[in-house]
């Protein structure tokens, strides 16, 4: 899959992404690391159409806690009052579904203890990541664990309508286009999406459209907002502004200013 979500870029950040083993890439978009402590400003987290397993590590790389972050439909802030190394496993939309034994319905915009959802997975993942002395060893431990789990996955597969939605993401301009020519009723499509991704079809489309706009603003910081309104099928500029504010907490003008400062620094 060639979809690569864009995280919010800070002026200074130690955030980094690492590709997983090639065999895991149909499911896992990336592993990521970030360090934070009481002096770190809150991190702005924007929707990216992904779900994450987030491992909190001490500075000595001891496993402190493991949580599951469902797909988000609006921005939020992340912060810590103690030194924490975050190690995340970022799954594509639907990529986490085969690894879990339950419905994803209700996980939207939620941060939940992994042990409450998959106790065995929480124990095994903790065992595989414990005792490491470097971040590269943590990555190897994660690769080994998920490859072993991949070899014994249940027959659960992401449904074809959702596969098609994901595969066609680069060409979707309108929600109607994304759900056209489907063999399922609207109710059945809604049920499948919520069961396997935690999102409704429109919520998935909405986040995907935002990601396209945000990535265009990064690559073309001088592009007209009016051009983006027309290109991505927003009703009008007010609709566009509301969506951007929901996804980032900022107005389109503030986003442009932020992106411009980043461009100058690079």
What is the reported pLDDT for 264?
Answer: 60
Torsion on CA atoms 206, 211, 214, 220, rounded to nearest 10: -120
Ordered per-residue pLDDT tens for the chain, 266 residues: 667 888 997 765 688 999 999 999 989 999 999 999 888 888 899 999 999 999 999 999 999 999 999 999 999 999 888 999 999 999 998 899 888 888 899 999 999 999 999 999 999 999 999 999 999 999 999 999 999 998 887 656 778 888 887 777 666 667 776 666 566 788 888 999 999 999 999 999 999 999 999 999 988 888 999 999 999 999 999 999 999 999 999 999 999 888 876 666 55
Alpha-carbon distance 48 to 198, whole Å? 13
C-beta separation of 108 from 203 below 8 A? yes
What is the reported pLDDT for 217?
Answer: 92
A 10 A CB-CB count for 203 gives 20
Looking at the domain that runs over 160-265, which CATH code has it been given? Answer: 1.10.10.60
Alpha-carbon distance 88 to 263, whole Å? 27
The beta strand positions in the chain, using DSSP E, are: 16-18, 28-36, 43-45, 51-57, 63-69, 76-78, 84-91, 111-113
C-beta separation of 217 from 9 below 8 A? no
Alpha-carbon distance 190 to 169, whole Å? 18
Domain ranges for the chain:
16-151, 160-265
What is the reported pLDDT for 1?
Answer: 60
Pairing of strands 84-91, 111-113: unpaired
Give the CA count within 13 Å in the CB-facing half-sphere of 76: 13
What is the CA 32 to chain-centroid distance, rounded?
11
């Amino acid at each position: 899959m060639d979809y690569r979500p864009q995280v919010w870029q800070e002026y200074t950040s130690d955030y980094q992404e690492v590709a997983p083993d090639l065999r895991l890439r149909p499911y896992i978009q990336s592993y990521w690391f970030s360090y934070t402590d009481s002096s770190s400003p809150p991190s702005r987290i924007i929707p990216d159409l992904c779900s994450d397993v987030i491992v909190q590590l001490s500075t000595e790389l001891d496993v402190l806690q493991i949580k599951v972050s469902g797909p988000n439909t609006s921005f939020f802030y992340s912060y810590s009052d103690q030194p924490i190394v975050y190690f995340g496993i970022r799954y594509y939309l639907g990529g986490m579904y085969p690894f879990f034994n339950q419905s994803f319905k209700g996980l939207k915009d939620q941060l939940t203890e992994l042990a409450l959802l998959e106790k065995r997975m929480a124990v095994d993942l903790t065992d595989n990541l414990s005792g490491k002395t470097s971040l590269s060893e943590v990555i190897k431990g994660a690769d080994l664990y998920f490859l072993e789990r991949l070899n014994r996955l249940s027959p659960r597969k992401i449904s074809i309508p959702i596969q098609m939605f994901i595969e066609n993401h680069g060409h979707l301009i309108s929600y109607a286009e994304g759900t056209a020519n489907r063999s399922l009723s609207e109710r059945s499509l809604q049920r499948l999406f919520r069961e396997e991704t935690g999102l409704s079809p429109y919520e998935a489309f909405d986040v995907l459209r935002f990601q396209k706009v945000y990535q265009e603003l990064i690559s073309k910081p001088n592009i007209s907002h009016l051009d983006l309104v027309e290109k991505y099928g927003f009703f009008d500029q007010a609709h566009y502004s509301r969506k951007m504010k929901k996804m980032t907490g900022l107005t389109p003008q503030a986003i442009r200013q932020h992106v411009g400062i980043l461009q100058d620094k690079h």
